[in-house]
């Protein structure tokens, strides 16, 4: 999916919500656990219930890999089930030497046909670039993450006053255009989003950390929205586990609708300043 198709979808749904499919066998409702593929069954119902309110789905690979080949099958079926107008993100945080990153790109863009994959920057340019060689596909590069450990290295300040995440953004901007490169910017540091928006005015940000991790959607939107929206805000647990009962899909729809309603407001209020 290219940038204008993504923006078109955001305008038409008036939402920049991404639903994280962090589907955990230990957390899905009991009545599903006896179906043939409980993970896919759960995802299918979540997708049916939320697709009107979100523009993207983000399965986190760890949840599928923890189930071995069966998990990989659930992931394939889930990806095939996601409506074609929704943007898909393989939240995989990969990155390796060049020839190996090229194989990860093949795994996520050809084997699985995701629109995008999250990539970790530690190994530098040749670990990121192979993902940028696929027309219509996207790299979503970790810049400033939402977890407590983000402070360990990402905030490290170099002799010339630049923090590591700032260097990552600056260098990566020369590797990929806003048509193929987004950044992960955690919602738990809302004050930093405004700063990062100055560093990368034209790139989309994938913002995790709203919901279970405590990020504030209004602050994130005020700091990050652009005339092209420029944000995909992810919520996983707060939506997909809104209820642990048989009404989990309705509960997820209610939560997603609530977030989308807020987003509609913020789009009219903050977008296009």
Among 120, 199, 238, 257, binds a second copy (CB under 8 A): 120
* Number of chain residues interacting with a second copy (CB under 8 A): 59
Among 2, 7, 8, 107, binds a second copy (CB under 8 A): 107
The verdict on 98 binding a second copy (CB under 8 A) reads: yes
72: its two tokens: 């990989």
| Coil, helix or strand at residue 183 | strand
Of residues 204 through 263, those in contact with a second copy by CB under 8 A are 213
Q: Which of 232, 163, 220, 226 shows the shortest CA–CA distance to 200?
A: 226
Interstrand relation of 87-94 and 56-59 (parallel, antiparallel or unpaired): parallel
Taking the complex as a whole, the smallest distance from the CB of residue 99 to a second copy amounts, in Å, to 8
- Which CB atom, from 49 or from 82, has the smaller least distance to a second copy? 82
* Minimum gap (Å) between residue 138 Cβ and a second copy: 18
By CB under 8 A, is residue 121 in contact with a second copy? Answer: yes
Task: Considering the complex, state which of residue 52 and residue 97 has its C-beta at the smaller distance from a second copy.
Answer: 97
Vertex 134 angle, CA 179 and 93, to 5°: 80
Catalytic residue among 77, 93, 129, 258: 93
Which residue among 158, 177, 261, 268 contacts a second copy (CB under 8 A)? 158
**Using rule CB under 8 A, residue 96 touches a second copy:** yes
- Token look-up 């659930």 returns 74
Do residues 23 and 31 lie in contact, with contact meaning Cβ atoms separated by under 8 Å?
A: no
Annotation says 44 is catalytic: no
Single out the segment in contact with a second copy by CB under 8 A; choices: 34-42, 95-103, 218-226, 238-246.
95-103
Whole-angstrom distance, CA of residue 157 vs CA of residue 148: 17
DSSP code of residue 110: I
Q: Tell me the Ramachandran region of residue 10: left when phi exceeds 0, alpha when psi lies from -120 to 50, beta otherwise.
A: alpha
Question: Which residue, 73 or 228, has its beta carbon nearer to a second copy?
Answer: 73
**Which of residues 51 and 116 has its CB atom nearest to a second copy in the complex?**
116
Instruction: Please say whether the beta carbons of 157 and 166 come within 8 A.
Output: no
Contact between 197 and a second copy per CB under 8 A: no
Smallest gap from Cβ 144 to a second copy, in A, equals 10
Q: How far is the CB of 145 from a second copy (least distance, A)?
A: 5
Q: Please name the helix (run of DSSP H) or strand (run of DSSP E) that holds residue 232, with its range, or none.
A: strand 231-235
User: Of the candidates 23, 27, 83, 28, which has an alpha carbon nearest to the alpha carbon of residue 55?
Assistant: 83
Q: Active-site residue numbers?
A: 93
């Amino acid at each position: 999916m290219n940038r204008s198709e993504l923006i078109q979808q955001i305008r038409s749904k008036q939402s920049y919500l991404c639903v994280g499919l962090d589907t955990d066998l230990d957390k899905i409702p009991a009545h599903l656990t006896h179906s043939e593929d409980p993970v896919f069954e759960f995802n299918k119902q979540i997708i049916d219930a939320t697709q009107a309110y979100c523009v993207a789905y983000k399965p986190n690979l760890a949840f599928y890999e923890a189930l071995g080949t069966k998990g990989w099958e659930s992931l394939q079926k889930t990806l095939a089930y996601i409506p074609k107008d929704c943007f898909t993100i393989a939240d995989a945080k990969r990155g390796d030497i060049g020839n190996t990153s090229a194989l990860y790109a093949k795994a996520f863009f050809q084997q699985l046909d995701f629109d995008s994959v999250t990539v970790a920057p530690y190994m530098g340019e040749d670990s990121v670039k192979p993902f940028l060689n696929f027309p219509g596909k996207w790299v979503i590069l970790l810049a400033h993450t939402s977890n407590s450990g983000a402070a360990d290295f990402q905030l490290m300040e170099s002799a010339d006053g630049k923090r590591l995440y700032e260097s990552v953004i600056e260098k990566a901007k020369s590797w990929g255009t806003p048509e193929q490169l987004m950044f992960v910017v955690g919602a738990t540091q809302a004050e930093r989003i405004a700063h990062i928006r100055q560093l990368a005015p034209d790139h989309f940000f994938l913002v995790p950390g709203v919901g279970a991790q405590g990020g504030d959607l209004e602050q994130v939107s005020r700091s990050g929205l652009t005339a092209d929206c420029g944000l995909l805000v992810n919520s996983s647990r707060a939506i997909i586990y809104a209820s642990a009962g048989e009404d989990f899909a309705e509960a997820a729809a209610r939560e997603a609708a609530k977030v989308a309603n807020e987003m509609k407001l913020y789009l009219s209020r903050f977008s296009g300043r």
